[in-house]
A = this chain, B = another copy of it.
Amino acid sequence: MKKFVNDPAKFVPEFMEGVALANPELLDYVPEFQLIKRKDRPVADKVSVIQGSGSGHEPAHVMAVGPGMLDGACQGAVFAAPPVDACYETIKALATDAGVLVLINNYQGDKMAWETAIELAEAEDIKVKAFFINDDVAVQDSLYTVGRRGVAGNFFVIKACGAAAAEGKSLEEVIAVAEKVNNNVRTMGVALTSCIPPAKGTTIFELADDEIEVGVGIHGEPGRRRDKIKAADAIVDELFEAVSTDLPFASGDRVALMVNGLGGTPISELYVLYARAHKLATDAGMTVARNYVGEYCTSLEMAGASLTLLKLDSELEGLLAAPAEIAIRTF
């Protein structure tokens, strides 16, 4: 295992400490709950939007904390749900009169942890609601889910809800935004390689030198099928077909188009994928109103990518265009 790691058991707190040190004015870091929150939140009359999941998907979720995005996030070990007490403390740390919205990617572990934490918080009269994201079209049920998985479409739910909360919308209104995004967003990914969780020290699944996993989950869960490596355009064609026919998207739609890197794929390759996806969308009569190319929801150093389409209306376009800032910046 060749990684930038000290003690594998301390990998998560060490990178969280790095994020906190890089953002002394923006963020508070609470090591005992692996929790990062905005320094200037909670605010009584604003809905707090929070999240929490296993680590290894960075920038999701603790690096997506900032104005117009998440107000706080906690995380578990790599690919493991956060403990109930971390979820509970995150809710409590961000509780407001307007309420807390917990955005949960649909995995059994996360669901159980958050639902228990929400019960505990409600017993203390904290106003808190859960919303489940399930944008992955690859498979119906899977290794860690009943129903579809939540993957990179998560970014759009965060962005839109973060903007709606910043505007002062009510908890019910912010939930309505989450529903609208989740109902209109679809994703599918492909892995070229596996990845190695530091504490495990070995790959989470095996792929031969000439194989790819089509429809892979962000924890390396099986997708639709194994295939041989093929041309980038052919891979995009398959992802685009799966994603666009699922909603379905149609000619005349205004869409946001995302090519998300899974961690080990260079940005140059992501733009090769984007070029093809953009053409497919345009040829299908869609207008790509906004585009997103980069890393949003990763699987450690896995080489691979996912493709996400979000159908827009004027409300969503406005929310996506609203100003936002996250803990990781390149400038």
Interface residues in chain A, defined as those with a beta carbon under 8 Å from any beta carbon in chain B: 1-6, 11-12, 14-19, 21-22, 55-56, 58-59, 63, 159, 192-193, 209-210, 212, 229, 231-233, 235, 263-275, 278-279, 291-296, 298, 300-301, 303, 305, 324, 326, 328-331
Contact = CB atoms under 8 A, between A and B. Distances in A.
A80 to B, nearest CB: 14
A19 B232 CA distance: 16
A269 B22 contact: no
Contacts of A269: 3-5, 15, 301
A274 B18 contact: yes
Nearest to A7: B231
A264 B301 contact: yes
B328 A272 contact: no
Contacts of A233: 6
A279 B1 CA distance: 26
Contact of A229 (B2, B298, B300): B2
Contacts of A274: 18, 21-22
Contacts of A3: 192, 232, 269, 303
A30 B213 CA distance: 36
A30 to B, nearest CB: 16
Copies of chain A in the complex? 2
A19 to B, nearest CB: 5
B328 A293 contact: yes
Given A15-B268, A264-B266, A293-B328, A2 B303 contact: yes
B18 A275 contact: yes
B298 A330 contact: no
Contacts of A229: 1-2
A278 to B, nearest CB: 5
B331 A324 contact: yes
A109 to B, nearest CB: 19
Given A266-B264, A268-B56, A18 B192 contact: no
A232 B6 CA distance: 5
16 contacts: A2-B192, A5-B232, A5-B269, A6-B232, A15-B269, A18-B271, A18-B272, A18-B278, A21-B275, A21-B279, A22-B271, A22-B291, A292-B331, A293-B328, A295-B330, A324-B331
B2 A271 contact: no
A196 to B, nearest CB: 11
Contacts of A11: 268, 272
Question: Which 6 pairs of residues, A with B, have the shortest CB-CB distance?
Answer: A18-B271, A18-B275, A4-B269, A15-B271, A18-B274, A4-B232
Given A263-B266, A269-B15, A278 B4 contact: no
Contact of A2 (B212, B273, B291, B296): B212
Contacts of A294: 328-330
A201 B229 CA distance: 14
B2 A209 contact: yes
Contacts of A291: 21-22
Given A303-B2, A324-B331, A295 B272 contact: no
A53 B126 CA distance: 57
Given A193-B2, A300-B266, A278 B331 contact: no
